[in-house]
Amino acid sequence: MPQAKRSSSETLLKSRPERNAPQAQRSSAAALSTQDSHPQRILIIHSGGIGDLLLALPVMRIFRQAFPGATLEMMGRPERLALVAHDLRASLLHSIDQAEMAYFYAEEASLPSRLSSFFFSFGAVLSFGGAGGNILAKNMKRAGAGRVISIPPFPPEALRVHLSDYLVESLRREGIEGENTCAPLELAEEAVTGAQGFFAGWGVREGTRMLAVHPGSGSPGKNWAPEKFAMVADWAAERAEILLLSGPAERGAEEIRKAMKKASPLVADTLPLVRLAGVLKWSRAYLGNDSGITHLAASLGVPTVALFGPTDPAVWGPRGIALRILYAGNISPGSLPETRGREIDSGPMNLSPHEVIEVLTPLLK
């Protein structure tokens, strides 16, 4: 099975033979491809954040399973797509950040031949539309792509349904059905070996009881107070090693480390996403705010405690086989929490360390 590659979009696309078929010929080929239920090559386009990508994994799995004999390629942000490439058996990853893609988001544009030839080679495409999604789908059809399925990346604001369920239902309406599963994300061997190298550098053996803590997120309003994270880490330090995760734009990890009185954490700072996934897989439990990394921990099957708000977890919460979401003073098991009549209008600031420790205690035994 080919392993997904991370490379520049130029290298990936130049490896395709140029096709200069006239428009009528491409349209005819597209019509035939649409009728063909066994395309040789299929494409998934997703350029959203880590959390959105992982919540779309069930519907991408269903699409992949509908064409088991096809070669799958993906387009979006390659570092993020690498997280799901092995799980989906994708062979190549292409960057969506290339200048010529702008023509595919413009009505009645003159489409560049290189990308037209690229899209022409796919018998089926699943695209998570977003702004301009319908235009992109129309232009891919103009370029000669086979069946193009464009589904909205998010549910309408008035519809309170979990994003994963909404996407699966959207694909079902296109005639493709399958099991909506939150089975743990499968990682490539490079993630496993990368994690082994990381922990070997800290002198930590595999099987060590470990609590991973990620205090950051994409918005300060979603973040629990650093001193509260530090109190939980000090409590957990008597039961497990503490792994403190930090990204390039996050300052919370350093504040927490300074506030700790007992814990002496291992620090994972700005790891590549695939390597970070392997490192997370070693953890006995995970604690974090509403962030893409929290979604990643949950999707890996790591027992996850997610601190939520102001985002509604009934729509945007992570999915996983061992998940607890704390929000607005409530604790909810499972994948689709209820708000119990309380409005989600503030961050997790009102959660106490005691509430978090109570949920973490059985996970660190």
Same domain, 253 and 335: yes
Same domain, 241 and 329: yes
Residue 4 lies in a domain: no
- Please report whether residue 324 resides in a domain: yes
277-293 burial, b at 16+ Cβ within 10 Å, e below that, comes to: bbbbbbbbbbbbbbbbb
Question: Based on the number of CB atoms within 10 Å of its own CB, is 362 exposed (0-12), middle (13-18) or buried (19 or more)?
Answer: exposed
Structural domain boundaries enclosing 99? 9-172
pLDDT in tens, the chain (365 residues): 444 433 334 334 333 333 333 343 344 344 434 445 689 999 999 999 999 999 999 999 999 999 999 999 999 999 999 999 999 999 999 999 999 999 999 998 999 999 999 999 999 999 998 777 899 999 999 999 999 999 998 898 888 899 999 999 999 999 999 988 889 999 999 999 999 999 999 999 988 999 999 998 888 878 898 999 999 999 999 999 999 998 765 666 788 888 899 989 999 998 999 999 999 999 999 999 999 999 999 999 999 999 987 888 889 999 999 999 998 544 444 443 433 323 344 556 678 999 999 999 999 98
- Residue 77 sits in a domain of what CATH number? 3.40.50
End position of a domain, from candidates 141, 172, 203: 172
327 with 212, same domain: the answer is: yes
Q: Are residues 204 and 89 in the same domain?
A: no
Q: Are residues 207 and 139 in the same domain?
A: no
Q: Are 148 and 268 in a shared domain?
A: no
Same domain, 168 and 193: no
**25 and 85 within one domain:** yes
Q: Is residue 110 part of a domain?
A: yes
**Does residue 108 share a domain with residue 221?**
no
DSSP calls for 59-70: HHHHHHHHSTTS
* Shared domain check, 288 and 203: yes
Domains in the chain, number: 2
